[in-house]
Amino acid sequence: MEQDNSTAKLGAAASRRKRINRIKIAIIVLIILCLILPTIISIFLFIRVNTLQEQIDVLMIDKYGVTYNELINKNHEEVAHAAVVSENLNQEQDIDTIDNDTIDNDTSGSDINHSNTNDSKTSPEDPRINQDGSQVTDNEFTGTSVANDFLNQLDFKIDKESMKTKKVYLTFDDGPSKFTGDILDILAKYNVKATFFVIGKTDEYSKEMYQRIVDEGHTLGIHSYSHVYRTIYNSLEDFDKDFTKLSDLLYDTTGYLPHIYRFPGGSGNDVSKVKISKVIEYLNNKGIVYFDWNVVNGDATGNFPPPEKLYYNVIKGISINNTSIVLMHDTATKENTVESLEPILKTLTEYQTELLPLNEEVTPIQQVIAEQYNK
Ligand code: ZN
């Protein structure tokens, strides 16, 4: 009887051990699963993301000429807006035809007054009064008041005397656009000559703008025909093809052969597949001088800074350099650049700063120095 009892106890103990062992195994399996499953899921997701990334890149390169990573990893002004340029090229085909009708109108008045900072002052029911009591005419008001407003918002002091000794080269990239006429009108109003690094367009309005740039004493520079990095920088042959296509178009249209160039993305870009030194040698041999920049107005960023911010960037940049080559853009989405232009010109002419167009004699500002590749 007692033996039976102890056998039963042993049996119960053994089965409990078995149960405990089973639970142990179950826990170990569970732990292993907990470790392995996320790893498997991670690997799966990693592969999936890469596949999708490749698909995105194919689409991006097709449309914009750069991969998504190239686009987000570069904070370079020019590279950052490559996509926007391509977008504009598509949009402007439609817009340009409409613009032909309105291009002769003087837009320097009404357009410039839409700044957020002085809405109250631009209300038509609120006649603007000079200090001496006379009413301000639209012509006097435009630019002056906005420029003063913007000037008052600066958080640094401008040295009046040093501003007189500075040289400033305003440059507009990526045009012609529907705003080129407005930009030219504003420059004419202040008798300021600037530089336009243009891309290739063959519609009548764009050809008219190439011609106006030349006729009105500005410098016409080459910025590439397509502005698509993948095409331009694929090989020296491709670069030559693109360069020559635009050079020919500009010469055939205006009778003027441009001697200056601006690299899309700047000479320091790292999207170029062909060695940039090879391209520089090519330009040197042709006697073409390329210009990068040392001041940006900031209009290449995607968040469309307001005119007062663009104004601030330009005036600040100019105030700290003896010579400034200012990068701005002339595209369909850069309305704020147009709006900031008159206040900028107003301020700079008031400070008697010298505003000049670029030419091949001007000492260039270059991210990659051309001279080292002279043979
Ligand atoms: Zn550009």
Q: How far is the CA of 82 from the centre of ligand 1 (A)?
A: 7
Q: How far is the CA of 79 from the centre of ligand 1 (A)?
A: 8
Q: How far is the CA of 101 from the centre of ligand 1 (A)?
A: 27
Q: How far is the CA of 174 from the centre of ligand 1 (A)?
A: 5
Q: What values do phi and psi take at 234, rounded to 5?
A: -70, -45
Give the domain CATH number at 304: 3.20.20.370
Same domain? 169 vs 138: no
Same domain? 146 vs 167: no
Per the domain annotation, does 77 fall within a domain? Answer: no
Whether this prediction's pTM lies above 0.75 is answered by: no
Last residue of a domain, one of 129, 152, 175: 152
**pLDDT for the residue 182:** 98
Q: Where are the beta strands (DSSP E) in the chain?
A: 167-173, 195-198, 219-222, 260-261, 289-290, 295-296, 323-329, 354-355
Q: How far is the CA of 81 from the centre of ligand 1 (A)?
A: 7
Same domain? 282 vs 296: yes
Same domain? 221 vs 337: yes
Kindly give the residue spans of alpha helices, DSSP state H, lying in 65-170. 68-73, 77-80, 82-102, 119-122, 138-152, 160-164
Per the domain annotation, does 58 fall within a domain? Answer: yes
Mean pLDDT of 188-209: 98
Last residue of a domain, one of 104, 120, 152: 152
Q: How far is the CA of 364 from the centre of ligand 1 (A)?
A: 18
Q: How far is the CA of 265 from the centre of ligand 1 (A)?
A: 7
Q: CA-CA-CA-CA torsion for 361, 362, 367, 370, nearest 10 degrees?
A: 20
Same domain? 230 vs 251: yes
Mean pLDDT of 275-291: 97
Same domain? 146 vs 176: no
Q: How far is the CA of 122 from the centre of ligand 1 (A)?
A: 34
Task: Specify the number of domains making up the chain.
Answer: 3
Q: How far is the CA of 286 from the centre of ligand 1 (A)?
A: 21
Same domain? 146 vs 172: no
Beta bridge partners, 328, equal 172
Mean pLDDT of 15-25: 91
Residue 359 CA to residue 290 CA, distance in Å, equals: 10
Residue 82 CA to residue 261 CA, distance in Å, equals: 17
Which range marks the domain in which residue 140 is found? 95-152
The rounded percent of the chain whose pLDDT value lies above 90 is 64
Q: How far is the CA of 302 from the centre of ligand 1 (A)?
A: 14
Structure tokens at 318: 């100019």
Q: How far is the CA of 140 from the centre of ligand 1 (A)?
A: 34
Give Cβ neighbours of residue 8 (< 8 Å, ≥ 6 apart): none
Q: How far is the CA of 367 from the centre of ligand 1 (A)?
A: 15
Mean pLDDT of 315-339: 97
Per the domain annotation, does 90 fall within a domain? Answer: no
Mean pLDDT of 129-151: 58
DSSP state letter for 306: -
Q: How far is the CA of 197 from the centre of ligand 1 (A)?
A: 8
- pLDDT confidence band for 121 (50 / 70 / 90): very low
Q: How far is the CA of 223 from the centre of ligand 1 (A)?
A: 7
Q: How far is the CA of 76 from the centre of ligand 1 (A)?
A: 11
Q: How far is the CA of 350 from the centre of ligand 1 (A)?
A: 30
**pLDDT for the residue 316:** 97
Q: Of 317, 233, 248, nearest to 278 (Cα)?
A: 233
**pLDDT for the residue 54:** 77
| Angle, helices 138-152/307-320, rounded to nearest 10 degrees | 70
Q: How far is the CA of 267 from the centre of ligand 1 (A)?
A: 12
**pLDDT for the residue 78:** 55
**pLDDT for the residue 117:** 33
Measured in whole angstroms, the distance separating CA 297 from the mean position of its chain's CA atoms is 10
Residue 304 CA to residue 56 CA, distance in Å, equals: 25
Q: How far is the CA of 85 from the centre of ligand 1 (A)?
A: 7
Per residue in 334-354, pLDDT (tens digit) is 999 999 999 999 999 999 999
Same domain? 259 vs 283: yes
**pLDDT for the residue 56:** 74
Residue 87 CA to residue 32 CA, distance in Å, equals: 51
Mean pLDDT of 7-16: 83
Q: How far is the CA of 65 from the centre of ligand 1 (A)?
A: 13
Q: How far is the CA of 105 from the centre of ligand 1 (A)?
A: 27
Last residue of a domain, one of 152, 174, 199: 152
- Give first-to-last CA distance, the chain, whole Å: 112
Of residues 54 and 28, which shows the higher confidence score? 28
pLDDT of 49 over the 80 cut? yes
Same domain? 287 vs 193: yes
- pLDDT confidence band for 119 (50 / 70 / 90): very low
Per the domain annotation, does 73 fall within a domain? Answer: no
Same domain? 284 vs 299: yes
Give Cβ neighbours of residue 357 (< 8 Å, ≥ 6 apart): 169, 193, 194, 195, 217, 218, 219
Same domain? 347 vs 248: yes
